[in-house]
Amino acid sequence: MIGGPSPLDIARGLLEGERSLVRAAIVGIGGAGCNVVTNLSRLGLAGFKLIAVNTDAASLKESKADYKVLIGDRFLSGRSARTVENGKKAMEEDIDRVISLIKGNELVVLVSGLGGGSGTGGHIVLAEELRKSEKDALLVSIAIIPFSSEGERVLKNAQIGLAEVLDSSDLTLVYFNDKLREKFPDMPLIRAYRIMDSWIASILEGIYGLQAIHPLPGMINVDFAVMKEAAKNSGLGYAGVAEAQTTEEALEECLNDPFGDADVRGCKALVGYIEGSQTRISVSNITKVQEFLTNNLKIPEIYFGLKPSWEMSKPRVFALALGVKSKMVDEFLGLGGG
């Protein structure tokens, strides 16, 4: 038929149709983690099983998720964990129920606000257990650090929690609430949190979008399997996404950490893609991206591709940097920042 798809297009469509989608789950732990999952649900995040886990029955009831798990009910009776030890005990008590919902997923994202009992203790225990029971999965932790004004006990709990989460996860993304206050000093807190959650949603969409990438000339091809291999045991990471008039501007903007101070220079590896119309992205655009990452940022391993999108008038860039540095994280953990 004139104007219909070519045999090559049909073949490509069949091949892409046979490619199974990555099985992925997000687990929000504790009050803050469940709030993130609720906002991700409201934002319509696709491709992920959304799981909310909490000790607080009333709070859990208000959560929006595909699955909800009340943990520690036998000794907490549906109330707040209050301490990290209680949070750990609660997760240990119901670990089998939580694991049963996660089992078989290739990408598992744990998200919590560190500093409280359920989120900190539950995150630590679940991450440790998943490293043992789901060895083939990529375990990503999203750790939200409390405001510095929240008190010594909360900050100490968060410090201990972050150290253990970094040790147990393949990849950890860290967001500081203090950055919300710095960026949006006059904004209502609930609205500021939703801005952060929208950013988290865009990052997770970016990671999930690695399944639909076309190779770029002169660059190593990238897909979820490549990202998974590169991200295993990579430690502290940073993910960003930005849209701009040019590919180079979008790349530089997406590497600017809005909720921390991640430094991607000399990081272990970078996985990413340009999303946009193939007719608008030139060889020069691609070359400039490669040169900037290699020569300016001194990144030894670069995996970059193209995600075709005919609807977009401007290019969007997603980048996941692995093994990054952060003075804020080092100082928070008491490691200095040099």
> What pLDDT score was predicted for residue 337?
47
Q: How is domain 214-322 classified at the architecture level of CATH?
A: 2-Layer Sandwich (3.30)
> What pLDDT score was predicted for residue 304?
87
> What pLDDT score was predicted for residue 19?
53
> What pLDDT score was predicted for residue 11?
35
What are the CA-CA distances from residue 313 to residues 199, 248, 276, 304, 308 (Å)? 21, 15, 7, 20, 12
Rounded Cα distance, 288 and 240, in Å: 19
Collect contacts of 127-136 with beta carbons under 8 A, ≥24 apart. 127/164, 127/165, 127/168, 127/169, 128/164, 128/168, 129/95, 129/99, 130/99, 130/102, 130/168, 131/168, 131/169, 133/99, 133/103, 134/99, 134/102, 134/103, 134/105, 134/108, 136/106
Q: Tens-of-pLDDT digits for all 338 residues of the chain? A: 344 444 344 334 433 444 568 999 999 999 999 999 999 999 999 999 999 999 999 999 999 999 999 999 999 999 999 999 999 999 999 999 999 999 999 999 999 999 999 999 999 999 999 999 999 999 999 999 999 999 999 999 999 999 999 999 999 999 999 999 999 999 999 999 999 999 999 999 999 998 878 766 666 678 899 999 999 999 999 999 999 999 999 999 999 999 999 999 999 999 999 988 876 777 788 788 889 999 999 999 999 888 888 778 899 999 999 999 999 999 999 976 44
> What pLDDT score was predicted for residue 18?
43
Pairing of strands 235-243, 316-322: antiparallel
Answer positive or negative: Cα dihedral of 310, 311, 316, 320.
negative
What are the CA-CA distances from residue 12 to residues 8, 46, 206, 280 (Å)? 6, 23, 22, 22
Does the reported pTM lie above 0.75? yes
Q: Could you tell me where in the chain the CATH 3.30.1330.20 domains are found?
A: 214-322
> What pLDDT score was predicted for residue 148?
95
> What pLDDT score was predicted for residue 309?
80
Which CATH number does 24-169 carry? 3.40.50.1440
Q: Could you tell me where in the chain the CATH 3.40.50.1440 domains are found?
A: 24-169
